[in-house]
A and B are shown apart, each in its own frame.
Chain A
Amino acid sequence: EAGVAQSPRYKIIEKRQSVAFWCNPISGHATLYWYQQILGQGPKLLIQFQNNGVVDDSQLPKDRFSAERLKGVDSTLKIQPAKLEDSAVYLCASSTWTGSGGYTFGSGTRLTVV
C-alpha cells in the first residue's frame, strides 16, 4: 500500500512570498488532515477534511492560510503572505472514516521563511 505523498520535501521562501504544499492521501481514506509542527512542539491541527468538505478549521489562520481538497482526494495548503513564524514542518495525514485504523502521516514539508 502506498503511503501519504507530500511535496515538496523542503522549501525556503522570503517573508511576504506565497507557497503551496501538496498532499496525496492513501487511496480510500476519506479523512485528510494538515498539521503544523513547529520545532520542539507537537503537531497542531490546521484543518481536517471529510471527503471534500471541511470538518474543522478552527486553528487555521484564515487571513493567510487556505486549503482545498479536490474531488475528495488530493489536497493543497497555501500560505499567502508568509511570515517568519510560519517556519515549520507541514504534515499531511489521512485516515479511514472511523479513525480507529490509525492515521498515516506523510514525510512532511519543511518550510523555512527568511
Chain B
Amino acid sequence: AQSVTQLDSQVPVFEEAPVELRCNYSSSVSVYLFWYVQYPNQGLQLLLKYLSGSTLVESINGFEAEFNKSQTSFHLRKPSVHISDTAEYFCAVSEVQGAQKLVFGQGTRLTINP
C-alpha cells in the first residue's frame, strides 16, 4: 500500500520569496505523483503531475516539482510566491498498475504574508 507524508503542516512565507513544500512517498510499486491545490471553500485542482519521462514537471503558474526516485520525494517549489498562492497544497500518489486510487498526504497550508 502507498502512503504520503507532507513534512510541513504550515509554511508561512513573505511575498516574492521562494518556497518549497516537501512530500515523501512510500510504495512497493511504480507510481504516478500529483500535486493538488485547494483554495478556500473550493474543490481540489490539479497543479501538476509526474507520469514518466523528465523528472522535472512544471505548472502554468510557476510551480515546479521534481521526482526523486532514490529519495522517494516529490517536492514542490516556486521561486517567487504571490498573495494569490495562499492555499492548501496536497501531494498524492497512485499506482501505475492496479486500482489506481489516489492516496493523499495531510496537506500543507501555504500562507503568503505581504
Contact = CB atoms under 8 A, between A and B. Distances in A.
A100 B43 contact: no
Contact of B101 (A40, A45, A100, A108): A45
B102 interface: yes
A106 B51 contact: no
Given A98-B100, A99-B32, A41 B44 contact: no
Interface in A29-70: 31, 33, 40-45, 48, 55-56
B101 A48 contact: yes
Contact of A43 (B49, B100, B104): B104
Interface of chain A: mostly helix, strand, loop or mixed:
strand
Nearest to B91: A42
B106 A106 contact: no
Contact of B42 (A31, A33, A45, A107): A107
Contacts of B90: 42-43
Interface string B72-114: 0000000000000000001000101001111111110000000
B25 interface: no
Interface of chain B: mostly helix, strand, loop or mixed:
strand
A86 B103 CA distance: 20
B56 interface: no
B65 to A, nearest CB: 14
Interface residues of A, number: 24
A91 B44 contact: yes
B46 interface: yes
A44 B106 CA distance: 10
Interface of A: 31, 33, 40-45, 48, 55-56, 91, 93, 95, 98-100, 102-108
23 contacts: A33-B101, A33-B102, A40-B107, A42-B4, A42-B6, A42-B104, A42-B105, A43-B44, A43-B90, A43-B104, A44-B104, A45-B101, A48-B99, A91-B43, A95-B100, A98-B100, A99-B32, A100-B32, A100-B96, A103-B34, A103-B46, A105-B44, A108-B43
